[in-house]
Amino acid sequence: MTTAAKSDDAPTLRINLDPEDVGRGLAQIVVAILDVLRELLERQAIRRVESGDLDAAQIERLGSALLSIRDQLGDLSETLARKDREPIEILLDTPNSVWPTPRSGKDAP
């Protein structure tokens, strides 16, 4: 293994990692992925509406749910832009309507 001699003119590469910034960046990546998934869900919903698979009540519920998800992801993005909370706290405090828990037992469809 050879090493190059370090000259005084060569810039030194140094990365300063702040754990809070790393966590915030990771949380923003998660939000971006969720936004892509939301967009895919919206496109699928449009295809189902256009194909006639849904009745008026189902279309209304689907539209309301998609709008709610869009609003909550927007709120989450705004919250992540602030520096007063840890990113993991923000993600864990996200309402269940965005992160539904699976049903089990007699409540399951």
Per-residue pLDDT tens listing for the chain (109 residues): 445 555 566 677 666 667 667 777 787 788 889 889 999 999 999 999 999 989 999 999 999 999 999 998 888 888 777 766 665 666 666 655 444 554 554 444 4
| Tokens 């279309």 found at | 59
Helix (H), strand (E), coil (C) string for 13-76: CCCCCCHHHHHHHHHHHHHHHHHHHHHHHHHHHHHHHHHCCCCHHHHHHHHHHHHHHHHHHHHH
All structural domains of the chain with their residue ranges = 20-95
Q: CA–CA separation, 41 vs 70, rounded Å? A: 11
